[in-house]
């Protein structure tokens, strides 16, 4: 597909546009929040404890989404926490994609013993429960953003590796790979120049779809206290903190919950949209 | 024969390619094939699907490692070449593939595909590379605007021209053509065949032309080898094999070629039964279970290629009877008439 085709298809895909717009909006809000945030996300003001949302009655200067049980502004925590969540998800997706790409390329291209060994490693990793692994790591090394990224990466690359491997195995049998071998092109060059460009689109699609899942996993880890250490905000931790007051002060839970849902939805839209755009079988 | 061996450009000696199928044994894809390809000669290799024709091509190009046997290039053993020798051989031996829709990387422009052979052999760069690619495209009859396009923007014929150009880039001496026209429209087939013939004249090429299309093979080949279940059953000059067919399988194959000849009695030999499995074949002639001439002895005795006439080898002990039985058949006559 040429670049022109690609752009035309991108414009035509509603899912893609909606997903991309949503993600850009959320990411911009989160990362630019230090410029306009009115409150300190970690400083508690007990006079404001469980303050009801003031919406926009005081403009942006008020507590738009209210305050939590420690009297911290929910909107500020949401934006600052979103920054952490997105950053963690982004690093994990990048790391897992790179590891998965390398493993998948090697297993799919060389096949045989290499494939057998790498895929057994995958099976072993699959058998590890992410949550238990996380508890172990946190118990040993303590809760921190880095440790969270490590835990999520350890189990996250397997999906990518499997997708890449199966795509590479199909490509490996095409005649243009035979042609490259007959021309005397060394294996590493064949992998980089002939195979890699053809696995980029499935990898991008998988990575995008994994992004939403990663944000959710990060939230559940933080919810369980295995993620971002308090008092730094994170969406999962916010939901966890607020669950005791869900009957009296539902906004403390609902606001980060909705934000979480919107981000994941946006990433799923983007992933599906990319799938439509990049799949050559979808004629327009 | 001895003389042939010395002068042959490419020669195989008892070439075997077995595939291990776990739990079942060995699939004998290529079994004991010895053949010679002379300089500037086209050897046609015919046979039905699954008889191992393409495996022969792939083994010659070292895409597969032969299980046993030897390959010689200009008298030099190239069965297990060194790395340096391998790269040297890629310049001399090239391949044209069957499916022009899968033999070109969909993500690359034609120019980038045709630059590859020059780049890998460090034969040109910069403006020189551009000029060489332009000249290469021109040689096979591709317009220059095609170079900027992607494979999916071209039709099958043009794509195959790109495939041929890529093979010709380093001025090879020998090319394996693995069913180069079977995926193309009939109208385009002629263009590609003529291109191959022109290139052969121009560059003194030798071809191993693998095909199941007998009319195409007859048009392009100097000699023809007929394969059945991994073995060569008959090999001779093209005219000889079509007018004096001696192996029962070749007879059946040739009589199946559709012809437009009104008013002529024609007897077609229809083979019954399926092709036996190439897994762990039993001793005895492989064609015997389907052969219309087979006797008890055929089923027990291995048949080997034997020279029955000058340069005409047949792997059948009853070739004399075959000749008698098929004498005066319409499809043989048709050929004799054409050569008057």
Q: What is the mean pLDDT of each run of 10 residues along chain B (340 residues)?
A: 74 90 85 90 90 91 90 90 88 92 90 93 89 93 91 90 94 93 89 93 93 89 92 91 87 76 64 77 82 79 84 86 73 46
Residue A42 lies in a domain: no
CA pair distance B140, B173, nearest whole angstrom:
16
Q: Cβ contacts of residue B67 below 8 Å, gap of 6+?
A: B16, B17, B18
- Which domain range does residue A188 map to? 3-33+74-278
pLDDT per residue over A116-168, tens digit each? 999 999 999 888 888 888 888 888 888 888 888 888 898 888 989 999 999 99
Domain count for chain A: 1
Does an H or E element contain B314, and which? strand B312-314
pTM of the predicted protein model: 0.81
Enumerate the residues of chain A whose CB falls inside 8 A of the CB of residue B102: 174-176
Identify the pLDDT of residue B223: 94
Enumerate the residues of chain B whose CB falls inside 8 A of the CB of residue A198: 105-107
Q: Cβ contacts of residue B266 below 8 Å, gap of 6+?
A: B255, B259, B329, B330, B331
The answer to whether the CB atoms of A179 and B87 lie below 8 A apart is no
The CA distances from residue B105 to A66, A193, A204, B108, B202, in Å, are 57, 10, 20, 6, 28
Q: What is the DSSP letter of B276?
A: P
A244 pLDDT more than 90: no
**Beta strands of B22-132 (E only): which ranges?**
25-37, 42-46, 68-73, 76-77, 93-96
Identify the pLDDT of residue B337: 42
Pairing of β B206-210 and β B223-228: unpaired
The answer to whether the CB atoms of B95 and A194 lie below 8 A apart is no
Which of B123, B225, B37 minimizes the C-alpha distance to B133? B123
Domain residue limits, chain B: 2-221, 238-338
Angstroms from B146 CA to nearest CA on chain A: 14
pLDDT per residue over A88-117, tens digit each? 889 999 999 999 999 999 999 998 899 999
Q: Which residue of A has its CA nearest to B94?
A: A182
Average pLDDT, chain A: 84
Report, as an integer, the average pLDDT of A44-54.
70
Pairing of β B42-46 and β B76-77: unpaired
Does an H or E element contain B227, and which? strand B223-228
SS3 A71: coil
Instruction: Yes or no: say if B164 and B158 are a contact pair by the CB < 8 Å rule.
Output: no
Q: Which residue of A has its CA nearest to B112?
A: A193
In the CATH hierarchy, which fold is given to the domain comprising B2-221? Rossmann fold (3.40.50)
Identify the pLDDT of residue A165: 94
Which of A179, A184, A198 is the closest to B107 by Cβ?
A: A198
Q: What is the CATH number of the domain that holds A258?
A: 1.10.3720.10
CA pair distance B63, B54, nearest whole angstrom:
11
Residue A53 lies in a domain: no
Residue A264 lies in a domain: yes
pLDDT per residue over A229-238, tens digit each? 777 788 888 8
The answer to whether the CB atoms of A184 and B95 lie below 8 A apart is no
Report, as an integer, the average pLDDT of A210-222.
84
SS3 B291: coil
Interface of B with A (CB under 8 A): 58, 61, 63, 86-87, 90-91, 93-95, 97-99, 102-108, 116-117, 120-121, 150, 163, 166
Identify the pLDDT of residue B72: 92
Q: Which residue of B has its CA nearest to A170?
A: B102
Which range, A44-48, A65-69, B76-80, has the best average confidence (pLDDT)? B76-80
Enumerate the residues of chain A whose CB falls inside 8 A of the CB of residue B117: 183
The answer to whether the CB atoms of B103 and A179 lie below 8 A apart is yes
Residue A47 lies in a domain: no
ipTM confidence: 0.85
């Amino acid at each position: 597909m040429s670049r022109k085709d690609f752009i035309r298809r991108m414009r035509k895909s509603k899912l893609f546009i909606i997903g991309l717009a949503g993600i850009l909006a959320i990411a911009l809000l989160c990362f630019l929040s230090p410029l306009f945030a009115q409150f300190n996300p970690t400083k508690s003001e007990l006079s404001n404890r469980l303050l009801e949302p003031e919406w926009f009655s005081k403009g942006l200067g008020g507590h738009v989404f209210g305050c939590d049980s420690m009297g911290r502004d929910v909107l500020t925590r949401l934006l600052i926490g979103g920054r952490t969540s997105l950053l963690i998800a982004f690093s994990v997706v990048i790391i897992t994609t790179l590891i998965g790409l390398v493993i998948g390329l090697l297993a799919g291209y060389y096949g045989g013993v290499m494939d057998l060994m790498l895929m057994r490693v995958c099976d072993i990793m699959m058998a590890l429960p992410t949550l238990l692994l996380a508890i172990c790591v946190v118990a040993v090394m303590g809760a921190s953003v880095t440790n969270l990224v490590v835990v999520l990466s350890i189990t996250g690359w397997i999906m990518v590796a499997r997708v890449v491997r199966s795509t590479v195995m199909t490509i490996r049998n095409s005649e243009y790979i035979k042609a490259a071998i007959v021309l005397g092109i060394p294996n590493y060059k064949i992998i980089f120049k002939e195979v890699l460009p053809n696995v980029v689109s499935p990898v991008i699609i998988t990575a995008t779809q994994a992004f939403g899942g990663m944000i959710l996993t990060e939230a559940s880890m933080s919810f369980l206290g295995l993620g971002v250490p308090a008092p730094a905000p994170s969406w999962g931790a916010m939901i966890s903190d607020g669950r005791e007051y869900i009957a009296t002060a539902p906004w403390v839970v609902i606001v980060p919950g909705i934000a979480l849902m919107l981000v994941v939805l946006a990433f799923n839209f983007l992933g599906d949209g990319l799938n439509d755009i990049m799949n050559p079988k979808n004629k327009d | 024969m001895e003389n042939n061996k010395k002068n042959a450009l490419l020669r195989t000696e008892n070439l075997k390619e077995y595939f291990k199928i776990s739990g079942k044994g060995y699939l004998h894809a290529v079994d004991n094939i010895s053949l010679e390809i002379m300089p500037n000669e086209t050897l046609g290799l015919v046979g039905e699907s699954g008889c191992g024709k393409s495996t022969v091509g792939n083994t010659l190009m070292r895409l597969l490692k032969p299980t046993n046997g030897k390959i010689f290039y200009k008298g030099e053993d190239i069965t297990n070449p060194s790395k340096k020798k391998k790269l040297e051989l890629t310049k001399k031996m090239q391949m044209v593939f069957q499916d022009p829709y899968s033999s070109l990387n969909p993500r690359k422009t034609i120019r980038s595909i045709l630059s590859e052979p020059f780049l890998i052999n460090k034969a040109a760069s910069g403006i020189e590379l551009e000029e060489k690619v332009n000249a290469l495209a021109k040689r096979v009859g591709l317009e220059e605007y095609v170079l900027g396009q992607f494979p999916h923007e071209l039709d099958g014929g043009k794509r195959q021209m790109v495939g041929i150009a890529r093979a010709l880039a380093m001025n090879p001496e020998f090319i394996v053509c693995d069913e180069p026209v079977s995926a193309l429209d009939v109208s385009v087939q002629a263009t590609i065949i003529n291109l191959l013939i022109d290139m052969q004249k121009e560059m003194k090429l030798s071809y191993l032309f693998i095909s199941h299309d007998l009319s195409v093979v007859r048009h392009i080949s100097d000699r023809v080898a007929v394969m059945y279940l991994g073995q060569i059953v008959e090999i001779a000059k093209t005219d000889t094999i079509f007018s004096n067919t001696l192996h029962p399988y070749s007879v059946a194959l040739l009589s199946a070629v559709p012809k437009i000849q009104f008013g002529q009695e024609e007897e077609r030999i229809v083979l019954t039964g399926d092709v036996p499995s190439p897994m762990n074949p039993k001793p005895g002639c492989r064609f015997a279970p389907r052969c219309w001439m087979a006797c008890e002895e055929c089923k027990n005795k291995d048949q080997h290629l034997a020279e029955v006439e000058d340069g005409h080898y047949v792997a059948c002990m009853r070739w004399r009877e075959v000749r008698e039985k098929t004498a005066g058949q319409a499809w043989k006559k048709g050929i004799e008439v054409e050569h008057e």
